[in-house]
Amino acid sequence: MLERLSAASGIAPGDLRYKLVGQGLSRLTPELEADRQDACLAEMKSLGIPAALVPAEKTEYRKKLPVARKVEISDHAAVFFDRHDNAVFKVDHDTDLLVILTDLSGKAIEKPHLALQFHRHPAQKSFEEALKKFSVCQPAAIFAPAGGPSPAGVLVDHSIFAYRSLQQHMGMSASVNFRTLVTKTIEKAKTCVTDHKFGNASIARAMPEWNAGKTDILAAFNRYALFLMAAAGAGLLKDGAPVSADDSYALKTGDGPEKETKPRAAGSEKSKSGGPLPPPEIRHSGIAGIINAAPSETIFGAVFGLIIFMRIFFGTGEISHPVFWKTAACGVLTGTGFLIFSYSLLLVYYRRMVKNIPTSRVRSVAMGMAELEGRAGQYYDLRSAHSNTRCIYYRCVYYRRVRTLKDSKWRLQKIVNSGKLPFYLQDDTGRILIRPKGALFLTEKSHQEFWGGQQILLSPQLQDRDTRIYEDIITEGSRIYVLGSARTERIGQTFKEKLVSRLRELKSNPGELMKYDADKNGRIDETEWETARTDMENVVYAEALGSDNAARERAVIRKPAYGMLPFIIADSESAIIRKLSLRIWLFLAGGLLMAGLGTEMLIRLHAG
């Protein structure tokens, strides 16, 4: 990903890592021609990175928002006024609102890059928590429209704002009044996106110097707001948009109290809470992790080591029953060679199918063997174990340096593997679920190396140099090629299953069941039970008509059920053809070599 973006933007991969990984928004500032800027933007979007081109004039440093001195809150609107009693900003039920919050003293601002101790996945503070924490310090807020042709809005500085203008909403303390001002304004808006990450986002001239004085901090805060307004105007902060990779923003809809929801990743299935499904507890460690993630060349390379072992075996000294054991060893060597040779022929068949099967679009895929290409989307909300990167697969290997009096060496601590979890493949016509269990994985994985430390944002001097982590991931948005069996699977309960469930519930509830006792004899006869059954059928049928939770079918790609048909997941068709060709020649030569050596050694043994 970094190499592709580096080629498109002209920024070094190392610089890109620190511009794209962090909290809140980041800004890329390459000096590029207009066509290359468009290419860089298209590349970022194809990789699943929400991005937009923002004209420089929209973030001019000298553009300052008006400062509010008082507010008038009615049943339908909140109107802010400047020191000359001019109305400068209005929030009503037609306003898509952007609220940016900070503490001008910097004491309540989270500064993860200065922390000595770090949890692996630090919990993000909600907007309500930040509001309470900031309000007891030196809070400031910017209210602006979440979108629009030009920067607009108002700055509220806690130290000069006249809280008596809140009138009947005014409380006993300044901190309570600030919180009331923010919450009441949000309640008047149609929708609201909130942000409280000023001081953490890596945006040029928007990183405050907390000791530089209030004027400089407000100037940086104002510029940070201009960037957020530009992002909102570009559609990155709208309802349903992939607003942020690190849950920096919260969205409130409707006229009720603020409700925070995590941003949705493009192509993700929703859980009951509105986000991607939580991943199952599938982890492989130790030997199981090594075998599970090892490429086939490594495994077959170990098998080829049998040749050396056989040579050593034949050169050893006295062995009880030598003819029997040497004959058995030669037979194993010969059989293994023929198996590897047969596997190479199977790969020839796979390569031919890859070349001959046409590539389908998701919307028009036919049931049976199908070939698809697109981008990977998350089915589970999977994050890599160390860098917390959104992905569909990861493998982390942890090493620890062990020091002795003479030297030091690296020792394997553990291997953490996500396993082959379902994911979506999506193109411009739709998406389809991929169940990769049993697939031949030949995808290129992004490789990252970290020195010790519980968080990748730690500065080098704070990291543990005796721990090294290697992380291989397939990121969300990666290019994916799939050749497998397109089939349908059922989702939800059928009408019969729901009816049986309702009848069981009715039987377990005597009070409800006795309502069908028409003759009042204390028991349910056959006619009365048939009446109850008919009523339950009508209820279940009515629920099915009024709900989208009825049983339905969806298309999936999975391992073929019969025969030796291929199931392959790779980067692209051309890449899989190259990799299969390499494996064909490797296994063909290795299989023939092992089979020939085993046969020759068997003939020499019995001829002697």
CB-based contact 520:585 (threshold 8 Å)? no
| pLDDT for the residue 170 | 86
CA angle 14, 16, 20 (to 5 degrees): 130
| pLDDT for the residue 143 | 93
Residues 69 and 127 in one domain: yes
Residues 39 and 94 in one domain: no
Three-state SS string over 425-452 comes to: EEECCEEEEECCCCCEEECCCEEEEEEC
Residues 227 and 125 in one domain: yes
Task: Classify residue 420: in a domain, yes or no.
Answer: no
Give 252's strand partners: 192
Residues 7 and 131 in one domain: no
Both structure tokens of 213: 């004085």
Residues 155 and 222 in one domain: yes
Grouped pLDDT means (10 residues each) for the chain, 608 residues: 78 69 62 78 76 75 82 91 91 88 82 40 62 89 80 88 89 87 90 82 72 84 84 68 43 41 39 58 53 54 60 56 72 84 88 89 88 89 81 88 82 85 88 88 79 50 70 86 88 76 85 84 84 84 64 81 82 85 87 84 74
Residues 71 and 201 in one domain: yes
Task: Classify residue 160: in a domain, yes or no.
Answer: yes
Number of domains in the chain: 3
Give, to the nearest 10 degrees, the angle between helix 573-607 and helix 296-314: 10
Residues 41 and 70 in one domain: no
CB-based contact 269:379 (threshold 8 Å)? yes
Cβ neighbours, 10 Å, residue 29: 11
Both structure tokens of 334: 């010969």
Residues 21 and 164 in one domain: no
Task: Classify residue 539: in a domain, yes or no.
Answer: yes
Structural domain of 6: 2-46
DSSP string across 94-162: T-EEEEEEEETTSSSS--GGG-SS--SSPPPPPHHHHHHHHHTS-EEEEEEESS-SS---EEEETTT--
What does the CA dihedral 19, 20, 23, 29 come to, rounded to 10 degrees?
Answer: 40
| pLDDT for the residue 298 | 57
Cβ neighbours, 10 Å, residue 354: 19
Please state, in angstroms and rounded to a whole number, the distance separating the CA atoms of residues 445 and 478: 9
Task: Classify residue 119: in a domain, yes or no.
Answer: yes
Task: Classify residue 320: in a domain, yes or no.
Answer: no
Give 441's strand partners: 569
Residues 206 and 120 in one domain: yes
| pLDDT for the residue 319 | 54
- Give the H/E segment covering residue 179: helix 174-188
Residues 121 and 213 in one domain: yes
Both structure tokens of 87: 């109305």
Residues 92 and 42 in one domain: no
Strand duo 568-570 + 440-442: pairing: parallel
Task: Classify residue 402: in a domain, yes or no.
Answer: no
Residues 22 and 81 in one domain: no
| pLDDT for the residue 141 | 93
Strand order in the sheet with 191-195: 67-68, 154-157, 139-145, 96-103, 191-195, 250-253
Last residue of a domain, which of 225, 253, 281? 253
Task: Classify residue 396: in a domain, yes or no.
Answer: no
Last residue of a domain, which of 237, 253, 269? 253
Please state, in angstroms and rounded to a whole number, the distance separating the CA atoms of residues 433 and 423: 6
| pLDDT for the residue 181 | 93
Task: Classify residue 568: in a domain, yes or no.
Answer: no
Please state, in angstroms and rounded to a whole number, the distance separating the CA atoms of residues 328 and 313: 12
DSSP string across 30-68: ----HHHHHHHHHHHHHTT-------GGGG-TT--PPEE
Strand duo 96-103 + 191-195: pairing: parallel
